[in-house]
Structure 1
Amino acid sequence: MPEHAVANWCLVAARVERGWHTQEDFAAAYDEKARERREQARISVRQVRRWESGESTWPNRDARRVLQAMFGCPVEDLGFRRPARPAGRASGASRRQLEECDVDRRTFLGLAGAVPMLDLEALEHLTAAARGTHRGGERELLTHLRRALDDAARADGLVGPHEALPTALGILAAISSAARTAHDDLRRELLALGARGAELAAWLNRDAGAPAPAVAYWHHQAAEWATLAGDEAMHAYVLLRQAQATDRTDALRMLDLARAATTGPWTLPARPRAEALQQQARALALTGAGADQVARVLDQAHAALDRAAPPSGAATCTGPLGDAYTRKRLIVQSAICYREAGQSARAVSLFGEHLATGVFAPRDRAFFGAQYSGALASAGEPDMAAAAAMDSLSLAAGARFGQALAELRRTAADLAPHDRRPAVREFRRRLGELATAV
């Protein structure tokens, strides 16, 4: 990869706005267009990834012809950077467009490793070339964006934030662009959808290891759009998600945010209300509250869930708020609360009983498994803790599930006194190798 590779968000946004939600979709559409034009060049998903990551910045001649036919614009407008030419040979219009794109990219784009830190103004600039090109009417665009956002959230649970984040950012750019010219009713729907997407972007940035300001930016954007759309429940839900994103070393802020989600001038639906109460219980445990007080708040969470209507179907990012919050999830998260309250044996019992059910997505299994390993370590079971940690690591490593890996590092620190045990030593070695590779 070039030393200063910069992700090509122009290309990401343009392909998402045209309905190619994934890199696989785009590669298939490219090959279809190449066959239609009788071009010999074909591409793989790997090549799409190289273009979008900035590893490859200028397509070959055949690929440029296909891309121009697909998008109806010069490839420079898709964010590709023409190789440097001797002074005086660059064409005027294309060179000016390229320089403007590079200036804006330097102005708005920051990197944390391979993680983009983009604000909304930057994203809007990167979709300027694609505005007005969506097929069908505005209502069809809304349906398309909703489906694309659900796909991005589903991809996160399966393969991790680094794969889902580019698509989510492209969707947000398209939403912001469309909302500027939409009539009032559609604008409110777009902003409500944007609030869901911005909250997802905050989570993806956090799990991908972005700096705290990037996570906070998208939480604030989600709250603003929820307010403009008149979606009070979503505004409260963003407070809950901010509480979940708060580091465990700042338990008082976590508690304040979780309480605000349930006590402000809004009404959370029963399922996210149960989740907010569970988050309050965890924050209380972290502040040193007694196990009885933690248990009482968890009882309130179970009572809230008792009042919830049955899920309307498979939970999605754009469906009923908090529909994915089930009894199983509450019980496993209760185990986390008991672990924080120093009741390791109780936490181990709950984890052991409910993690083996197979109802959680890979990302959640990795995170809960990492928490389980930490509870086992605290309960004085280093070999079992190392085994559970290895299972979690096998899920988290390839997809780079950031929160799971952070918990595994916490487990590794707890197991350090037992490093002479073969299972512990092997886990800590594997985790160390992963950190070095990343």
Structure 2
Amino acid sequence: MDAMEDAAVRLGIELPSRSSLKTQVSMFENGRREPGPEYQALFCEVYEATRMELGLAVEFAPSQLEALPTLPIPSATSPTANPAILDYLRSVFLQHVQAEPLVGPRFLVPAVQSQMPLIEELCKDASGPLRDEVVRVGARYAELLGWLHQDTGDSKSAMLWTNRALDYASELDDPALSAYVFHRRSNIAAEAGQAGYAVGLANAALKEARKLPHQVRAVALRARANSYALLGQADDCARALDEARVLADEAPDDGASLAPYCSVSYIDMEAANCALQLQRPEQAVKTLEASLTRWPAEQQRDRGLCLARLATAYAQLEDVEGAYNAASEAAAIAQATGSARIFAELGRLQPLLQPWRKLVEISELNRLLGSMRGS
């Protein structure tokens, strides 16, 4: 009784006399009456427990928070561009880029997209050099958002946001940024099966090739090579890859590049993919096996893609055990990161394993991939 009366004072609830209260509690204990909302709130306060924990009827239990007043929301003016806000956006962008290879696109799409309304507001009134910086930030965020959608398998949204990035980049006198976004558009088109369009976009990226930093020029050449491989043009593909390797090898390691991931190892992995497209699995296996021995730990998602491509190469060579081992590891990374690109590569593998579908290992792999497709 004492505890209930103390709680009633804190909650602003008026209780009957002590004798009446004792009668009420007795009726609750004997199951002859259910506590109403006020008594439920009292018991929760006394026992420091939730209604669910006390077994009280939830239909009589609106949240105590519902009785709290709603605080007034003051009207606010739109934010204006300033160096502090730009530093914040750049810092958050860098964190997204660092997290992306590890966690994959699913959890980052909402976080990155949530920054776009702020960037668009900043663009409305920004002028002079400050506007250039806002637009540049907008281009980087939109391009990253396009990439994240591409890795989820949503080519339409990927191209939409990458086109938005090109809109931003076109306002700036920055050939490198425009070329990088054109190369990204080429990648999306190639993965969507539009190889001819992809070649055209790669050529647009390389239109002012001599003005481009080495790594940007290298990734654009890689996009061109990939498109040529899809078209079956092996010689043109090889020339583009050779030039890309030289540029990647000569690129300064100053941390300022738009494509810091573009190393010789990266070009080699992409060359292996071209070899698969050109039906040259021996070449692909040799390159991919070597790449995996020196793969950076932070590039987990791309490691999964490399493994999936290696599994396809093994299958083309009828190395069933190698294909199974590589595909199983790639599937685990696909599940962890949500990368549709890894899963698409594993989909290319499955028809190649059909002759061995009755083997226990291959049957288990097909079942796993089927469950992933269903999810």
Normalising by structure 2, we get a TM-score of 0.77
Q: State the one-letter code of the partner of 1:196.
A: R
1:226 pairs, out of 165, 169, 188, with 169
Between the aligned partners of 2:295 and 2:321, the Cα distance in structure 1 is: 23
Partner of 2:350: 412
Between the aligned partners of 1:332 and 1:400, the Cα distance in structure 2 is: 21
Is this contact kept in 2: 1:201–1:218, CA < 8 A? Answer: yes
64 and 342 in structure 1: CA distance in 2 versus 1, 3 angstrom threshold: farther
Between the aligned partners of 2:85 and 2:242, the Cα distance in structure 1 is: 43
Between the aligned partners of 2:372 and 2:66, the Cα distance in structure 1 is: 36
Shift of 1:61: 6.1
User: Is 1:336 aligned to residue 277 of structure 2?
Assistant: no
Shift of 1:311: 3.6
216 and 60 in structure 1: CA distance in 2 versus 1, 3 angstrom threshold: farther
1:321 pairs, out of 254, 258, 282, with 258
User: Is 1:178 aligned to residue 122 of structure 2?
Assistant: yes
Is this contact kept in 2: 1:387–1:423, CA < 8 A? Answer: no
Deviations 1:146-172 (A, max 9, x none): 111111222221111111111111122
Q: How does 1:124-203 map to 2 (within 5 A)?
A: 132=78, 138-203=82-147
Between the aligned partners of 1:186 and 1:385, the Cα distance in structure 2 is: 53
Is this contact kept in 1: 2:249–2:263, CA < 8 A? Answer: no
Deviations 1:11-65 (A, max 9, x none): xxxxxxxxxxxxxxxxxxxxxxxxxxxxx9xxxxxxxxxxxxxxxxxx9664997
Normalising by structure 1, we get a TM-score of 0.66
Partner of 2:230: 286
Shift of 1:306: 3.4
Between the aligned partners of 1:417 and 1:63, the Cα distance in structure 2 is: 63
Partner of 2:340: 402
User: Is 1:209 aligned to residue 146 of structure 2?
Assistant: no
406 and 175 in structure 1: CA distance in 2 versus 1, 3 angstrom threshold: same
Deviations 1:49-97 (A, max 9, x none): xxxxxxxxxx96649979x77xx739xxxxxxxxxxxxxxxxxxxxxxx
Q: Which one has a bigger Cα radius of gyration?
A: 2
Shift of 1:428: 1.0
Partner of 1:373: 311
SS in structure 1 of the partner of residue 233 of structure 2? coil
Q: State the one-letter code of the partner of 1:363.
A: R
Q: How does 1:244-255 map to 2 (within 5 A)?
A: 244-248=187-191, 249-255=193-199
SS in structure 1 of the partner of residue 115 of structure 2? helix
Aligned residues: 314
Q: State the one-letter code of the partner of 2:360.
A: P
364 and 73 in structure 1: CA distance in 2 versus 1, 3 angstrom threshold: farther
Between the aligned partners of 2:243 and 2:276, the Cα distance in structure 1 is: 19
Q: How does 1:35-50 map to 2 (within 5 A)?
A: none
Is this contact kept in 1: 2:79–2:121, CA < 8 A? Answer: no
Aligned sequence identity (%): 27
Deviations 1:92-120 (A, max 9, x none): xxxxxxxxxxxxxxxxxxxxxxxxxxxxx
Is this contact kept in 2: 1:237–1:268, CA < 8 A? Answer: no
Shift of 1:231: 2.3
Between the aligned partners of 2:215 and 2:67, the Cα distance in structure 1 is: 50
424 and 397 in structure 1: CA distance in 2 versus 1, 3 angstrom threshold: same
213 and 395 in structure 1: CA distance in 2 versus 1, 3 angstrom threshold: closer
Between the aligned partners of 1:130 and 1:221, the Cα distance in structure 2 is: 28
SS in structure 2 of the partner of residue 357 of structure 1? coil
Deviations 1:249-295 (A, max 9, x none): 321112221122112488321012111112222211211123x4432
Q: State the one-letter code of the partner of 2:178.
A: H
Q: Which runs of 5+ in 2 are unaligned?
A: 1-47, 49-61
383 and 280 in structure 1: CA distance in 2 versus 1, 3 angstrom threshold: same
Shift of 1:133: 6.2
Between the aligned partners of 2:294 and 2:66, the Cα distance in structure 1 is: 47
379 and 259 in structure 1: CA distance in 2 versus 1, 3 angstrom threshold: farther
Between the aligned partners of 1:397 and 1:275, the Cα distance in structure 2 is: 27
Deviations 1:152-198 (A, max 9, x none): 22222111111111111112221111121223221110101110110
User: Is 1:305 aligned to residue 243 of structure 2?
Assistant: no
User: Is 1:275 aligned to residue 213 of structure 2?
Assistant: no
User: Is 1:391 aligned to residue 329 of structure 2?
Assistant: yes
Q: State the one-letter code of the partner of 2:93.
A: L
SS in structure 2 of the partner of residue 148 of structure 1? helix
Q: Which runs of 5+ in 1 are unaligned?
A: 1-39, 41-58, 75-128, 313-318
CA RMSD of aligned residues (A): 2.7
Q: State the one-letter code of the partner of 1:170.
A: S
398 and 339 in structure 1: CA distance in 2 versus 1, 3 angstrom threshold: same
275 and 159 in structure 1: CA distance in 2 versus 1, 3 angstrom threshold: same
Deviations 1:347-390 (A, max 9, x none): 00110111132315111111111111111111221221121010
